[in-house]
């Protein structure tokens, strides 16, 4: 159930922000991740039992927990719910032996500021962009333009 909430709220957040989404690929991906020992999901619910914030997390062999997927349903409680969800995830990651929490970055300045409030450091990061093979020649020249510049740890 928690992974279903992650898929739903991740999609809600992307739509709210006007970001492109591949929801038809996300649900099967999360369904494959859910039973793995190296993943977990956390939700925060309101008094009525409605999921307000959720996150899906991946544990790496180097002791890092990556906040890979997540989102929130905007409400008067969504800010507190997101903080509670992340704190619960950090506790679980610590219990599972992690010593580093990677927020994974964002395409939203407000979210990046929120991560910074947890003490996250900005770390340069490159991301691959899926493109037709015939366009591959442009990538070496366009690398700095087409990569996301930061992530938070």
CA separation (Å) from 114 to 18, 69, 106?
19, 16, 10
Length of the chain measured in residues: 153
Token pair for 92: 């679980």
List the chain pLDDT tens, one digit each, 153 residues: 788 888 888 777 777 766 676 777 888 888 888 899 999 999 998 888 888 899 999 999 999 999 888 888 887 777 888 899 999 999 999 999 999 998 876 666 777 777 777 777 777 665 555 666 665 655 555 444 444 444 445
CA distance 92 to 96: 6
Gyration radius (Cα) of the chain, Å: 16
Count CB-CB contacts under 10 A for residue 52: 24
Domains along the chain? 2-102 (3.40.630.30)
Residue whose pair of structure tokens reads 């409400």 in the numeric block: 75
């Amino acid at each position: 159930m928690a992974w279903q909430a992650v898929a739903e709220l991740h999609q809600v957040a992307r739509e709210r922000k006007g970001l492109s989404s591949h929801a038809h690929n996300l649900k099967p991906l999360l369904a494959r991740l859910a039973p793995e020992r190296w993943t977990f999901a956390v939700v925060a619910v309101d008094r009525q039992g409605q999921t307000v914030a959720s996150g899906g997390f991946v544990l790496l062999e180097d002791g890092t927990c990556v906040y890979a997927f997540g989102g929130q349903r905007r409400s008067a409680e969504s800010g507190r719910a997101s903080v509670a969800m992340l704190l619960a995830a950090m506790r679980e990651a610590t219990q599972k032996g992690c010593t580093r929490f990677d927020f994974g970055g964002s395409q939203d300045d407000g979210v990046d500021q929120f991560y910074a409030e947890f003490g996250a450091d900005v770390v340069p990061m490159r991301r691959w962009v899926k493109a037709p093979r015939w366009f591959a020649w442009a990538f070496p020249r366009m690398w700095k333009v087409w990569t996301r510049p930061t992530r938070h740890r």
